[in-house]
A and B are shown apart, each in its own frame.
Chain A
Amino acid sequence: MTSFLFGKLGYGALPFYSAIATVAASMVVLGAIGVVAFITYLRGWKALWTDWLTSVDHKRIGIMYIVVSFVMLARALAEAMLMRAQQVAGYQSPGFLPPEHFAQLFTTHGTIMIFFMAMPFLIGLYNFVMPLQIGARDVSYPLMNSVSLAFTTAGAMLMMVSLCIGKFSTGGWSGYPPYTELAFSPDVGVDYWIWALTLSSIGNTMTGVNFAVTIYKKRAPGMHLFRMPLFAWTALCVSILMIFAMPPLTVATLMLAMDRYLDMHFFTNTDGGNMMNYINMFWLFGHPEVYILILPAFGVYSETVSTFSSKTLYGYTSLVWATISIAVLSFTVWLHHFFTMGQNGNVNAVFGIATMLIAIPTGVKIFNWTLTMFRGRIRMTVPMLYASAFMILFAIGGSTGVMLANPGFDYQAHNTLFLVAHFHNMLIPGLLFGMLSGYHYWFPKAFGFRLHEGWGRTTFWCWCLGFIFAFMPLYALGALGMPRRSQEYFEGAYLPYAIVAMFGALIIGFAMVAMIVQLYVSIKDRAATNVFVGDPWDGRTLEWSVSAPPPEYNFAILPEVGGRDTFFADKRHGRAYRIPQHYEPIEMPANSPLGFIVCVDMGVTGFALTWHIWWLTIGGLLVFAIAIIARSFNRHTKRIISTAEIRETEKRWIEAFQFEPAIPVEDEVTNLNRGLARIPAE
């Protein structure tokens, strides 16, 4: 059934096998058409091309990462709601989703939420904030940054295409063989999953290298490692985790691809293959991965708790060492994902104890944030609401994690909804609240106007209550022995919990709506909420010391750092907002279309690989090679920003901070806030 021109593609690949699939595919197509129409209506194509698609500015790349993340969040959330509804309908009845469709949903939901929601969100946040925080003008490899985004976006595009053409994998986000081998999954679904993951993991590996080098090499004068904000510290740890954890995933998925494409037998049942090798390698990536996901959130909380308590971070050194030890320990516990694979109990005990060790630095962090609030002046803004809810809910999730670290209990809870509840308990109040907290906190810095506070609170309460209703019942269901990934079940005892969980999922759906409304309202009111001066929260670190949005070069004069919370100390001692006597020209990287070319090309190549269209695969790889080589002949990779241009840009900002009054922090969420908030002197 393969042709030279179209590989395995045929009319059967169209999504008309079920009404829901047809609607979902139509939404993707209509959404794409809508975006194109909207950009055309705004006459924005030229600006999109010059300012965004070809940009290598870390701030714009960060924003584009977060846009990708939001789009994918909306899709994966819809999938989650469908699954929750199915588990209400699926009591002693097939419900409305056939098993195959349900299996595709839980696979895409997991894959998207991890690789195309969480990872782009945190990488986007780091991209935007981290260079500003360490006083750098850009990351070390701006073009590679754009290519990393291209790989991630290509993977996300592949996920979207899979909704419209063909079916996706049904093997779960972890894709355990032998089920994902040809013998049991002959369709192209697993291939979609393999190439989406491969693209994403290549992009993330490059990001890790890029960020680590940036932090080692690009810090402003005087910014010693132990003067960096905690958020930058987590960036460093996460980058190192990415560098070491992503390759095992790339290798594992490529070996699975070799099994499927080249008739190898790494993980098959037959001919000497062993699926346990895959599981081992996958979690060698998978466990560090969950710390890649949570450390950025810890970084955000360290910033927001300190800022909104108007207090320096308690136990900075402790927090740094806790972060480092979490990063190191995260590589020593991967076996706890397969306690039930039949190894000796003593092996399990060692890994169980190693797992619990991670709870020590994590506990230290929570106590330190609490002590940061102690004797502060706390403003309950949206980021602080997220931080408070996080501390309470994360303590619960951490506890269930410690329970699961006990092999004896894990033999009971493994593969049940207890586990699902646990990791959602870590990922929603942990990672996602952290990301949303950071989104609300740094949005004014990125766009120059504040997000609407009221809708922000609505979003927060929907997420918070929705999470509690959606996932607390899952602990009970897991303890009652309900397996994860059940499309149908036969125990009446499960039904009430499933109904409550669906109710929670609905509330989370409202949270998504509230986020969209918030964005719309905020953009509409942007003139009134403008904070061009750039310090709307009485911030403590360097990113608040420049205008909002920051100029392309970030800092007209690179800052001199004399300690922690530099900017706050400068403000207190009247050293902030000094007007330099003269400027130097600044050399910045020039725009390049390479990222965009790689994105389209890799998306096409992934699609061609999935459908066995060999001529297109070879063509795509050739285009990639040619584009990279052609770029190396380009000698105009830098752009000099003249002193005149800098003076012009800075003049506007200087006039603004000289003209705008400083307001007390009590008024920071009102329209009095023009970007200069101050904690009143006692």
Chain B
Amino acid sequence: MPQSGHAFLPTRIRHGLRLSPFLPLSLTACQADSISFLHPAGTIAALQREWLIEIVIALAVIIIPVFVGVAFCLWRYRLGNRNAAFRPDWSFALPLEFLVWGVPATIVIILSLLIAGSETRHSPERQIGTAQPLDIQVVALNWKWLFIYPDQHVASLDTLVLPVGREVRFLLTSDKTMQSFFIPSLGSQIYAMAGMVTHLHLLANRPGRYLGENTQFNGMGFQGEKFTTLALLPDQFTQWAQHARTSPVTLNDETYRKLLKDGDDRQAMTDLGVKADTPDPMQPQGLSFSNVSDDLFRNIVSRYHGSSAHQGPMPQ
């Protein structure tokens, strides 16, 4: 079996990122460009970092007086200090009452405006921009992620490839336990559940290789359930899709049944008879599939419904 490697032209892109000619991408710290929203690579993650800073500043208004006040009282009114005032029966002052209720209330109102405003506009199910997003269907398995590209008719295992600068609409479901799909440097996480479809909009604005993971404990392979997120320039993304279409491994009922077996991506490749790209079991293998049927995702979701009725909006 030939490998599912990728014959990219070595391209130099912004930020000096050099794409490896091979697409198993290890996810060690020296390899992933970002593992966190503190070093954002997407619109949503950048916003989340901004919100965090705003919240911390607002909260400092409460925290600092507490620190100062507690420390001051403990020192000034210690038993040994007979010069300090002692008012053992003092228990109420109306102006202070307004202060102790008013200050926290004001901070909470300010933070509520933040929630009701910008955050709600960027909740996972909402579209970020106005352009037509790229659809990617995500199937959570034990303990690996299957990414289906309905428009390209390809799929990949544990390697998520997306174009920079184009909004992506993820439609997520699970064919096993409940899991949580999370790419910290791009933005929000969302649960994937069997028989249901959840939505997540993300937008990568920087090419690179990012950490992706499941954060919802789901069994003994949980700690290894990471995937590589590869944000490529649009033309490179097109190249990748074209290349994936030539993959000798097709995704049909038979191969999908093999993916359903519990195990990591290496296990899946063994079952499929594909040689692993690297001997390192800790590295995602970057397997891609061609000839993905249009109904695969819909069938995975509706398997859990006795009748043809299904919950939630289905991709049209």
Interfacial residues, chain A to chain B (CB-CB below 8 A): 90, 92, 99-100, 103, 170-172, 176-179, 184, 269-272, 274-276, 309-318, 338, 340-342, 344-346, 348-349, 352-353, 356-357, 359-360, 362-364, 366-368, 370-371, 373-380, 388, 391-392, 395-396, 399, 402-403, 405-409, 411-412, 414-416, 479-481, 483-493, 665-666, 679, 682
Contact = CB atoms under 8 A, between A and B. Distances in A.
B73 A481 contact: no
Of the listed residues A317, A318, A375, A409, the one surrounded by the most CB atoms of chain B closer than 10 A to its CB is A409
Given A346-B120, A359-B108, A402-B59, A318 B85 contact: no
A344 B123 contact: yes
A313 B217 contact: no
Interface of B: 27-30, 32, 35-38, 45, 47-48, 51-52, 55-56, 59, 62-63, 65-67, 69-70, 73-74, 77-79, 84-92, 96-97, 99-101, 103-105, 107-108, 111-112, 114-116, 118-126, 176-178, 180, 182, 184-185, 187-191, 193-196, 198-199, 211, 213-224, 226, 282, 304, 306
B219 A314 contact: no
B186 to A, nearest CB: 10
B27 A490 contact: yes
A282 B155 CA distance: 36
Given A345-B125, A359-B104, A481 B36 contact: yes
A438 to B, nearest CB: 20
Given A375-B85, A378-B78, A408-B47, A370 B91 contact: no
B197 to A, nearest CB: 8
In order of increasing CB-CB distance, the 3 nearest A-B pairs are: A345-B123, A411-B188, A363-B104
B1 to A, nearest CB: 27
B288 to A, nearest CB: 22
Contacts of B306: 271-272
Contact of B220 (A103, A338, A379, A403): A103
A380 B74 CA distance: 8
Given A272-B306, A356-B108, A481-B211, 11 more contacts: A184-B219, A310-B88, A340-B124, A342-B191, A348-B120, A367-B100, A376-B88, A411-B188, A481-B184, A490-B282, A491-B35
Contacts of A411: 48, 123-124, 187-190
Given A342-B190, A360-B104, A364-B100, A485 B217 contact: yes
Contacts of B177: 178-179, 184
A78 to B, nearest CB: 21
A360 B101 contact: yes
Given A342-B191, A370-B73, A409 B51 contact: yes
A600 B66 CA distance: 49
B71 to A, nearest CB: 8
A364 B108 CA distance: 13
B70 A370 contact: yes
Nearest to B226: A490
Contacts of B59: 399, 402-403
B223 A92 contact: no
A190 to B, nearest CB: 13
28 contacts: A170-B220, A179-B217, A276-B193, A311-B90, A314-B92, A315-B91, A345-B126, A371-B100, A373-B74, A374-B69, A375-B85, A376-B73, A378-B74, A380-B74, A392-B66, A399-B62, A399-B63, A402-B59, A402-B108, A406-B55, A408-B115, A409-B51, A409-B55, A415-B180, A479-B37, A483-B182, A486-B222, A493-B35
Given A275-B193, A345-B120, A408-B122, A360 B86 contact: no
A370 B118 CA distance: 35
B180 A275 contact: no
Nearest to A376: B77
Contacts of A491: 27-29, 32, 35, 211
Given A345-B124, A356-B108, A364 B216 contact: no
A145 B41 CA distance: 57
Contact of B63 (A342, A376, A395): A395
Contact of A312 (B89, B101, B107, B190): B89
A184 B179 CA distance: 13
A627 to B, nearest CB: 40
Contacts of A416: 215
B164 to A, nearest CB: 20
A340 B45 contact: no
A92 B282 contact: yes
Most buried by A among B63, B177, B187, B217: B217
A378 B91 contact: no
A340 B191 contact: yes
A314 B90 contact: yes
Given A402-B59, A409-B48, A414 B120 contact: no
Contact of A412 (B37, B116, B195): B37
A178 B178 contact: yes
Given A349-B116, A407-B119, A411-B189, A312 B91 contact: yes
A340 B180 contact: yes
A341 to B, nearest CB: 5
A485 B77 contact: no
Given A172-B217, A378-B74, A392-B67, A414 B115 contact: no
Contacts of B97: 315, 318
A403 B56 contact: yes
Contacts of A379: 79
A353 to B, nearest CB: 5
B191 A341 contact: yes
Contacts of A377: 77-79, 86, 88
B27 to A, nearest CB: 6
A406 B115 contact: yes
A352 B111 CA distance: 10
Contacts of A374: 69, 73, 77
Given A349-B120, A377-B77, A481 B282 contact: no
